Structure 1
Amino acid sequence: MPDTAHTLDALLAGPLARQPDATAITTVDPETGAEQALSRRQFDTLVGRAAVWLQDQGVAQGDTVALWLVNRLDWLVLHLALARLGAAVLTVNTRYRGAEVSHLLAQARPRLLVLQQHFRRIDFGAVLQEIDPASAASLQQVVVVDAGAEGAAGARQLPATLLGRPTWRFDLASLPAGRCLAMADSQAAPDDPAILFTTSGTTSGPKLVVHTQRTVSLHVQHVAHAMGYHADGVRLLAALPFGGTFGYVSMLAALAAGKPVVAPHTFDAVEAARLLVAHRITHCFGSDEMFEALLAQAPDARAVPAYPHLRLCGFAAFRAGAAAVAADCIARGMPLAGLYGSSEVHALFAIQGLDRPLAERLEGGGMPVNPDAAIRVRDAESGALLPPGATGLLEFRAPSNFSGYLANPEATARAIDAEGWFSSGDIGQLRADGSFVYLTRAGDAIRLGGYLTAPAEIEEVLTAQPGVAAAQVVAVDLDGKARAVAFAIAAPGAAPDSAALLQAVRDRLAAYKVPARLWWVEAFPVVHSANGTKIQRTRLRDMAQARLAAE
């Protein structure tokens, strides 16, 4: 008999069998705010009907379909329908432009591209015009999910072809009721690829990370246990993009635990604050920026707790000053804890305990959710393994780690050694209790005065000064030595004194950490990933070198 214990269908079979009429997911219309709740039975029926529709389009085991959608119900239904067929999803970030989409299509060679025509200010059709047709050679057709019903006025807006391929409508409400591929008839195998995530590309070119049904299933089960999803009354606000590992894992783990998911199409602080209260949300995951916005939208500006039903808010820090933001949230009773994850090892790979001292609780990293996961730290220069407390490159080994980079054996071999250890490219430290601390990306870490230094340490001091909205620190070669230099953004209406800021660093940190230059800018160069907006430090280093050369 085939091994089906670690497929996505098997993952969701238990909750469906136990409580078929319990709510699985509630979606929220971004225009009207209207909510649609689906039971597990209704949701599974849609998945089965969508699987038949995909079969009619020629999709079969081993194929790939690209989904270029916000958090619509269509995204989740199509993904699980593809999984039932043994096919994979290529996630496409809705913020990508033509060159980025072209790159993904050329790499993954999907059979179908599923998209929506518009979402708020995003014109997906216009972006299609930027795509190199040669990159779409594998596409058999382009599927549009918001084209309007057949014969309706909206139907006239659907062109006959896109990217030179015929277009088809996909409408959940119009799927034939009499044809359904049941969960019991799943064609999937555990080692079928399930989802392809893109790396963010902040320090290198984007690659496609392959996760199988087995690696997804194993990980989300451990996440559900570690995050307390099996307790009574749990409800998740899934406001992060399903197409990124952060939003995907947190959402799928809730479904696997049989807990209801409330899923707006995208994060909006006002709407999210309303949903937290109206649905008595217990779990929420996001960036420091998201939680800062939620705190600002709390119904009562002085109440503690700000949102009384919250039990866990896992956060990832994407900005300097994140610890101060998190501390403010905790002071208002929002139960924040630092996390660690990546596309390769999945989001929510580890989380800090809520019982840890505040400073430790707010650090990235934590205890792995999978008890079978192993962590070690290696010296970046000597290659020697390091003891707890020493800073070096973080390496991970877990049964749920990715299987490799799609069609890139060289990159896979560089990232995964013969014993299955993944070299993360992150800098951190082990703790004596088996947990760890994430400090920075290896490409971002700087060696100053002979010491490996996290830029965030200097950035925190700078952003704590009056009139400074944000700061970024990189290292450059200056007079034959590695020196820190800083870029900063002034708060609106402020005119901070550069000399005073640098003196503040001298007063608080070792002399070798004091930036040799401080430049004011309007904005930092960024890259938009499905998990958040990240600063491009490589471009900052180029900017710094150019300014030094101009001197």
Structure 2
Amino acid sequence: MSVNPFSLPSLIGTEPAAAAAFLFDRTAVSRAEFSSKVEQAAAWLAAQGIGKGDVVAVWLVNRIEWIALLFAAARLGAVVAAVNTRYRSAEVAHLLRVSGARLMVVEAAFRSIDFAAILGDVAKDEVPALRQLAVVGADAIPAHWPCIRFDAFDRSYSPAPPAQEDVDLPVLLYTTSGTTKGPKLVAHSQRTLATHAVSVARALKLDPQRHSLLAMLPFCGTFGMTSLLGFIAAGATIHVLDAFEAAPALKILSEHGITHSFGSDEMFRRILALTDAPHPFPKLQVCGFAAFQPGWRELAVEADARGMKLFGLYGSSEVQALFSISRSSDPFADRIEGGGWPMSPDAKVRVRDVETGELAASGVSGEIEISAPSRFLGYFNNPEATREAITADGFFRSGDIGRARGDGSFVYETRAGDAMRLGGFLVAPGEIEDELKSCAGVADAQVVAVDLKGQARCVAFVIAAGEPPRQEVLTAHLRERLAGYKVPARIYVVDAFPVTDSANGVKIQRARLRAMAMERIAAE
């Protein structure tokens, strides 16, 4: 039987069936075994009454069941709603309600996460579509809903009906980072997922005989899922961590000659901190990283000196992660910047001036707009938000600020909500933060913009390295180095920055920093 080249099953049909596809805690799963598990999962889903258009919420850590359920849903024309394992009751309830999930596949327990307690705080009338829970690792958990065991791999179910052929239906829902009304659900099809996976494999020139991946990002986010699918498309071996921990990651990188890994700056920082070896990973070629924390440039310098080459990249749930990545031939300063070169030769990136609404020239900052085969179908059950996010000619309005380099690559600078319009100019906070971090006594810095007596000014928060620095000393240094409109009106010393967990790592809460700035100024 022929396989649609734009389907998820097409990604697993190109390499020898006996080749290792995944290693979960040293347990190998071949491509043939994975295909069998997909068929078993499809039969199990069908036995639960799941068919075309039905939504299944998957609330699991990185395990073979997660991937098998996604491919099985594709087989049936069903939809998987990916649930972040860091979510709590309000977030889980919102996702279940908006997606209309009929079935949730959930962990019995994992480390300190009490899935049953979290679900216990979700009222049945909040999620009227949910009918049943399927538990991995137990017969049931305490819950408002009937429970069954997920036993697709333990017993035989009647074969699933013939595979659905429409590869343009929704198959996977990611959550966005969220708004005050709760996160939107980003819908992708088999075509957008499979096409991009092939683009990633080709752009990275992955060879199944030479390359391997340490998958340490959660599958529930586009960063983890895209890298996973790209290496499945390449036929390369994937070593999977059920959830990130630095020590197991270090062990796999060291013992298995891993060539590629993707993660946040903080993940790579923690791994490096566990070894004193000057060159601990001789086989490691590409570490694609997202810069979520202060000090990422310093990390990149240290990592490079120790043979861990960090590559800046760009992505979003709407156009998928690994949309672009820098190249090894790029100068170091360019290689570690977010952005890079699109994976797909059919992708188009342009920048629009946020003030004039006109397309910006190379080197001029503005909002990044993207047209690509990896672009999402839309926001699930939210046509109004979809219309607002797409231009008349089909480009996705990213909400990110960046600039084109003029050679086909681009630079990501900051989120549009984080960019500051100071003195009539668009300023990325990182420019001021880097200058602050170069000052004696400053370990880290964050800068946000506030309205101060009707004028846009920036305020800085710094974490001290030893003796707290004096504001007047820092201000004097900045006045020597930066234009006057970039010098913070206030500089506050704090013990830590407010942070929030996401599927891909810990991120600074810049909105909270803005609120803190206004509170402190008002108190003065």
Q: TM-score range by the shorter chain?
A: over 0.9
The equivalent of 2:410 in structure 1 is 436
Cα pair 1:287 1:315 within 8 Å, conserved: yes
C-alpha separation between the residues in 1 aligned to 2:151 and 2:242?
Answer: 17
SS at match of 2:121: coil
C-alpha separation between the residues in 1 aligned to 2:23 and 2:155?
Answer: 20
The equivalent of 1:533 in structure 2 is 506
Find out whether 1:209 has 2:186 as its counterpart. yes
Cα pair 1:4 1:189 within 8 Å, conserved: no
In structure 1, what residue type is equivalent to 2:396?
A: F
Cα pair 2:172 2:187 within 8 Å, conserved: yes
The equivalent of 1:323 in structure 2 is 297
Report deviation, 1:181: 4.8
Cα pair 2:217 2:244 within 8 Å, conserved: yes
Find out whether 1:46 has 2:43 as its counterpart. no
C-alpha separation between the residues in 2 aligned to 1:533 and 1:202?
Answer: 17
In structure 1, what residue type is equivalent to 2:75?
A: R
**What does residue range 195-274 of structure 1 map to in structure 2 within 5 Å?**
195-201=172-178, 205-230=182-207, 232-274=209-251
Pick aligned residue for 1:290 from 240, 245, 267: 267
The TM-score with structure 2 as length reference comes to 0.96
The equivalent of 1:12 in structure 2 is 12
Q: Deviation string for 1:42-92 (max 9, x for gaps)?
A: 111111111101110001011111011111221111111111111111011
Pick aligned residue for 1:126 from 103, 113, 117: 117
Moved more, 232-241 or 501-510: 501-510
Pick aligned residue for 1:21 from 6, 18, 22: 18
Report deviation, 1:496: 3.2
Cα pair 1:2 1:189 within 8 Å, conserved: no
**What does residue range 337-376 of structure 1 map to in structure 2 within 5 Å?**
337-376=311-350
The equivalent of 2:143 in structure 1 is 162
Q: Check 1:117–1:500 CA distance in 2 against 1; reply closer, same or farther (3 A cut).
A: farther
In structure 1, what residue type is equivalent to 2:24?
A: T
Report deviation, 1:467: 3.9
Pick aligned residue for 1:515 from 482, 488, 491: 488
In structure 1, what residue type is equivalent to 2:233?
A: A
**What does residue range 361-400 of structure 1 map to in structure 2 within 5 Å?**
361-400=335-374
The equivalent of 1:116 in structure 2 is 107
C-alpha separation between the residues in 1 aligned to 2:470 and 2:248?
Answer: 39
SS at match of 2:146: strand
Q: Deviation string for 1:407-442 (max 9, x for gaps)?
A: 111111111022111110010000111110000000
In structure 2, what residue type is equivalent to 1:319?
A: Q
The equivalent of 1:503 in structure 2 is 476
Cα pair 1:388 1:430 within 8 Å, conserved: yes
Report deviation, 1:9: 1.0
Q: Check 1:2–1:255 CA distance in 2 against 1; reply closer, same or farther (3 A cut).
A: closer
Moved more, 47-56 or 123-132: 123-132
Pick aligned residue for 1:175 from 155, 158, 165: 155
Cα pair 1:146 1:171 within 8 Å, conserved: no
Q: Check 1:527–1:107 CA distance in 2 against 1; reply closer, same or farther (3 A cut).
A: same
The equivalent of 2:54 in structure 1 is 63
Cα pair 2:12 2:31 within 8 Å, conserved: no
Q: Deviation string for 1:147-195 (max 9, x for gaps)?
A: 1xxxxxxx5xx34x623x210101454132x75559xx42242112111
Moved more, 198-207 or 362-371: 198-207
Report deviation, 1:466: 4.0
Q: Deviation string for 1:285-307 (max 9, x for gaps)?
A: 01111111122223xx2433x20
Q: Check 1:94–1:514 CA distance in 2 against 1; reply closer, same or farther (3 A cut).
A: same
Q: Deviation string for 1:485-540 (max 9, x for gaps)?
A: 0122334x543333333333223222211111112333333332212222222222
C-alpha separation between the residues in 2 aligned to 1:347 and 1:546?
Answer: 36
**What does residue range 184-199 of structure 1 map to in structure 2 within 5 Å?**
185-199=162-176
C-alpha separation between the residues in 2 aligned to 1:2 and 1:302?
Answer: 50
SS at match of 2:14: helix
Moved more, 88-97 or 517-526: 517-526
Moved more, 420-429 or 288-297: 288-297
The equivalent of 1:409 in structure 2 is 383
SS at match of 1:119: coil
The equivalent of 1:32 in structure 2 is none
SS at match of 1:295: helix
The TM-score with structure 1 as length reference comes to 0.91
C-alpha separation between the residues in 1 aligned to 2:482 and 2:460?
Answer: 15
C-alpha separation between the residues in 2 aligned to 1:487 and 1:204?
Answer: 28
Find out whether 1:452 has 2:426 as its counterpart. yes
Cα pair 1:203 1:536 within 8 Å, conserved: no
Cα pair 1:64 1:89 within 8 Å, conserved: yes
Identity of aligned residues (%): 51
**What does residue range 274-285 of structure 1 map to in structure 2 within 5 Å?**
274-285=251-262
Q: Check 1:550–1:237 CA distance in 2 against 1; reply closer, same or farther (3 A cut).
A: same
C-alpha separation between the residues in 2 aligned to 1:385 and 1:67?
Answer: 41
Q: Check 1:14–1:231 CA distance in 2 against 1; reply closer, same or farther (3 A cut).
A: closer
C-alpha separation between the residues in 2 aligned to 1:502 and 1:131?
Answer: 49
C-alpha separation between the residues in 1 aligned to 2:444 and 2:214?
Answer: 29
Find out whether 1:137 has 2:128 as its counterpart. yes
Cα pair 2:227 2:322 within 8 Å, conserved: yes
In structure 2, what residue type is equivalent to 1:73?
A: I
Find out whether 1:548 has 2:514 as its counterpart. no
The equivalent of 1:471 in structure 2 is 445
C-alpha separation between the residues in 1 aligned to 2:437 and 2:115?
Answer: 37
Find out whether 1:37 has 2:31 as its counterpart. no
